[in-house]
Amino acid sequence: MKNIRILIADDHPIVREGLRLLIASERGMELVGEALNGAEAAEKARALNPDVILMDLVMPQKDGLQAIREIKKDAKCVRAKILVLTSFAEDDQILAAMKAGAIGYLLKDSLPEELLKSIRDVYEGKPSLSSPVTSRLLRELSEGAQTANEQDELTEREMEVLKLVAKGLSNQDIARQVGLSEWTVRARVSAILEKLRLSNRTQAALYAIKKGWSEV
């Protein structure tokens, strides 16, 4: 199996050292680079084309949110999945990171095993959030999506796709399971996000869990 290629973006040497040692000790993972600030993170994402970026939010020159937005808009970084790794769990930062394109948000006091699992999940396109982050994000997502759902109900097929998104399945896996083309599944996911007024599939997955349509 191919190694998961990882880029670390954090301005604290001791954090980078700890992550470097953890990744080096884990089979199937490979550290391809380190960035000391958001500007460097965006540059190295383009140059190295990593699979997963571990992104701190508070960094000099350009913060993590700015770097996430820049990376997600760059055609050279289309495959990069971003896992925020930070000390902060404020509601506005969590939502901003998710809207910017991160699909994982983990706190730095998480266990090493939790981080390694999150890296694998994010690599596979599955949402990965610390428990405190999940609780906060679920509360914030509720109001806007409920209003939208009253106006635009999801079709039966869209509900089926949404439940599979909430289970962490990729578009390819969903297509295989429901007997549709991957392109059609992608279109269904886009329609779901538009109807629920959500920014990405991580928010959609969390909303489905909150509504009781899928188990955590």
Query: DSSP string spanning 130-163?
Result: -HHHHHHHHHHHHHHHHHHHHHSPPPHHHHHHHH
pTM: 0.70
Measure the CA–CA gap between 34 and 169, rounded to whole angstroms: 29
Q: Domains (ranges, CATH) in the chain?
A: 4-129 (3.40.50.2300), 141-210 (1.10.10.10)
Please give the pLDDT value at position 127.
Answer: 79
Measure the CA–CA gap between 86 and 12, rounded to whole angstroms: 11
Q: What is the DSSP letter of 75?
A: G
Q: Which residue has the higher pLDDT, 151 or 24?
A: 24
- Angle formed at CA 42 by CA 75 and CA 35, multiple of 5 degrees: 145
Q: Are 156 and 188 in contact (CB under 8 A)?
A: no
- Tell me: pLDDT of 190 over 50: yes
Place of tokens 């913060």: 63
Q: What percent of the chain has pLDDT over 90?
A: 38
- Tell me: pLDDT of 142 over 70: no
Please give the pLDDT value at position 207.
Answer: 78
- Tell me: pLDDT of 131 over 70: no
Please give the pLDDT value at position 150.
Answer: 42
Please give the pLDDT value at position 20.
Answer: 96
- 198 CB burial (10 A radius; 0-12, 13-18, 19+): buried
Measure the CA–CA gap between 58 and 178, rounded to whole angstroms: 42
- Tell me: pLDDT of 153 over 50: yes
Please give the pLDDT value at position 197.
Answer: 80
Over residues 31-36, the mean pLDDT reads: 96
Over residues 126-137, the mean pLDDT reads: 69
- Tell me: pLDDT of 170 over 90: no
Pick from 67-71, 110-114, 150-154: least confident: 150-154
Over residues 124-133, the mean pLDDT reads: 76
Q: Are 76 and 107 in contact (CB under 8 A)?
A: no
Confidence of residue 143 (pLDDT cuts 50, 70, 90): low
Among 79-83, 99-103, 149-153, 199-203, top mean pLDDT goes to: 79-83
Please give the pLDDT value at position 38.
Answer: 94
pLDDT by residue (tens digit) across 88-109?
Answer: 766 667 777 877 888 888 889 8
Measure the CA–CA gap between 204 and 95, rounded to whole angstroms: 13
Q: Which two tokens stand for residue 72?
A: 């997600």
